[in-house]
Amino acid sequence: MDRRGRASPAPRTVRVRVPAKINLQLAVGPLRPDGYHDLCTVFQAVSLYDEVRATSAVPGSGISITVSGEEYADVPAGPQNLAVRAAGLLADHFDVPPDVRLHVNKGIPVAGGMAGGSADAAAALVACDLLWGLSAARDELAALAAQLGSDVPFLLTGGTAIGTGRGERLSPVLVQGRFEWVVATSHVGLSTPSVYRRFDELAQDRQVPEPVADDAVMAALRSGDPAALGAALSNDLQAPALSLRPDLQLVLDTGRAAGALGAIVSGSGPTVAFLVADGAAAMELTLALAPTGLCRSLRHAQGPVPGAQVVPRAG
């Protein structure tokens, strides 16, 4: 039965695919009393995916999780996993038994500044909503998503959007065409809170302005001009990330020398995102960076793509 008393032929396993994000602009404001920073960011969802599978479990068995895929050993497989917290929050909110087996297959870099953990939380909300027959309204899921993390609401919707507040208040952005990216992951991750702390340390002696959207980024997105977008990419967390990880400068410089239209640390890093003109340019950049050994992996991606989506059952 669903919560409106209708019999629901809920599938026993629901699969949801969810993308990674890149911040095309990340303007960070002053530290707030709650420990967060006001942001003005332009998110773009790109075609690197995690998949979350939610399978019904016997009553009383609770929420369990297993993880596979790239770098899966670095992902917590317990109650602190954001997908587990998402399933628990959803069950609490709708007062249904929190019984589900979750499986996360990682394709998004772990601790990379591409919101992989937040993506899994968004996917778990969508998967458990369908598995448990809740039919939650999109706004209801978005409100729960915001409780789980600043990036989680964006991974529900995907596309390209401006995020304000902590990043959780979204408005869609008009975009023409698709943009091609090369994503360079790092051998070691960076913790997001430590990068924000470094931002605060570096900002100690100056007045941090209120963050606002950059007109040049908006214009480049509207016209679909990758060269203009490449020139306009900006990230206030890049300087603190580089001060913690100076080796990333060489990755940025090598990619620029190999023809990238734009190069930027993704979110809090250490993943670096290169905007390129087309598939051939992506290949050229990949061939230039691969032999240096500076990156753990080099992946070609496109954006914008939709947010968390149920994968239709075969047949």
Q: Footprint of ligand C5P on this chain (CB under 6 A)?
A: 35-37, 39, 149-151, 166-167, 192-193, 196
Minimum CB–partner distance for residue 80 and ligand C5P (Å): 12
Catalytic residue ranges: 21, 151
Q: CA dihedral defined by 248, 160, 114, 229, rounded to 10 degrees? A: -10
Sign of the alpha-carbon torsion through 122, 127, 130, 131? negative
Minimum CB–partner distance for residue 227 and ligand C5P (Å): 30
**Cβ-proximal residue to ligand C5P, closest one:** 150
215 burial via Cβ count (<10 Å: 0-12, 13-18, 19+):
exposed
Q: Which is nearer to ligand C5P, 57 or 108 (CB)?
A: 108
Minimum CB–partner distance for residue 233 and ligand C5P (Å): 19
C-alpha of 201 from chain center: 25
Q: Which is nearer to ligand C5P, 196 or 274 (CB)?
A: 196
Q: Which is nearer to ligand C5P, 106 or 166 (CB)?
A: 166
Minimum CB–partner distance for residue 166 and ligand C5P (Å): 4
Q: Which is nearer to ligand C5P, 5 or 33 (CB)?
A: 33
What is d(CA 301, CA 47) in angstroms, rounded to the nearest whole number? 5
**Amino acid at position 218, single letter:** M
Q: Which is nearer to ligand C5P, 33 or 35 (CB)?
A: 35
Decide the pairing of beta strands 160-165 and 234-235. unpaired
Name the nearest CA neighbour of 24 among 167, 172, 226, 234. 234
Minimum CB–partner distance for residue 120 and ligand C5P (Å): 12
Q: CA dihedral defined by 69, 123, 23, 33, rounded to 10 degrees? A: -120
Cα-flanking dihedrals φ and ψ of residue 29, to 5°? -90, -170
The encoded tokens of residue 147 equal 């409780």
Provide the β-strand partners of residue 263.
274
